[in-house]
Amino acid sequence: RSASVAPTIELDAGLVELIARLSARDTRALDEIYGHTGDRLYALACKVAGDTRDAEEVVADVYQYAWEHSREFDGTRGSVVAWLSMLTWSRASDRRRRRKRECDVSTLHPDPASATYTACEDGATAADVDAFVDGHRVRAALNRLRADQRRLILMAFFEGASHGDIATRTGMPL
């Protein structure tokens, strides 16, 4: 077990150092962070967004955000990978909802310019507001967990790992 944990700890420490370099506007640090996390974030974005083009844009947005807001990273709240994964999941979910809404509108409204179809619509619904509030509650709850607990939840819910996969990856008993 300690052999599988040590590389993770070393990677986490290395990524924290890279975030510090990113804060100092070191472009090589961004390249290195991408090298360590790009595949993982792209896979997550593909899974959540359900579209490779959207996933590519999501990942680009996440690294742009990391470049612009690297000073906001707080290592006491979680790992760099968890931070980037939450950003990716959030943006990919938004893309998927937006794309679904665009598809739904086109099938429901054959003539979107017609006032008949749009007169009673106003952007946000109560369900949208509830989902937004719930998302903040989930993020706040995740931030209150220990890093190891948060990691297990992220693997299960955001990476789609089964209990068996998690046990194999972490060395923990099923």
pLDDT at 41: 93
pLDDT at site 6? 43
What does the pLDDT profile of the chain (174 residues) look like in tens digits?
Answer: 444 444 454 567 788 899 999 889 998 999 999 999 999 999 999 999 888 899 999 999 999 999 999 998 888 888 899 899 999 999 999 888 887 655 554 555 555 555 554 545 555 566 666 666 667 777 778 888 888 888 888 888 777 888 888 888 888 887
Burial class (CB in 10 A: 0-12, 13-18, 19+), 68: exposed
- Rounded CA-CA distance 87/147 in Å is 17
Which candidate, 89, 88, 96, places its Cα nearest to that of 34? 88
Tokens of 168: 């194999």
pLDDT, position 86: 92
User: What pLDDT is stored for residue 5 in this prediction?
Assistant: 42
What is the model's pLDDT at position 32?
Answer: 92
Per-residue DSSP letter, 109:
-
